Amino acid sequence: MEKIHLYDKILSPVVTEKSTNLSELNKIVFKVPDGANKKNLKKNIEKIFKVNVTKINIINKQNRTKVTRGKKVKVSGYKKAIITLKKGQSIDLTTGI
């Protein structure tokens, strides 16, 4: 049986203008694998970053096509999780995992 690591449930942080604004509300956005669920994410994030998670919202971004320079290009979808932390806590994404 394979050994699953804590870091397998978090692919990367999502750093956009919108996710940066959410950090003021104690919310962090991560890109997660398709098989991730709320219970496992909560346990893993609490162990890795040593914070208290109060709420997790998971969003599926669907595959889509867009037109670039007259050609249709496929943009792959992904799953992201918005994690709400206990008031007063934060995760510093600049230090790395």
pLDDT tens-digit map of 65-85:
999 999 999 999 999 999 999
| Domains of the chain (ranges, CATH numbers) | 6-88 (3.30.70.330)
Tell me how far apart the terminal alpha carbons of the chain are, to the nearest angstrom: 26
pLDDT tens-digit map of 33-66:
988 899 989 999 999 889 999 999 999 999 999 9
**Residue 1: pLDDT band with limits 50, 70, 90:** very low
Helix (H, G, I), strand (E, B) or coil at 91: coil
Q: How far, in Å, are 36, 66, 74, 81 from residue 57 at the CA level?
A: 12, 27, 26, 6
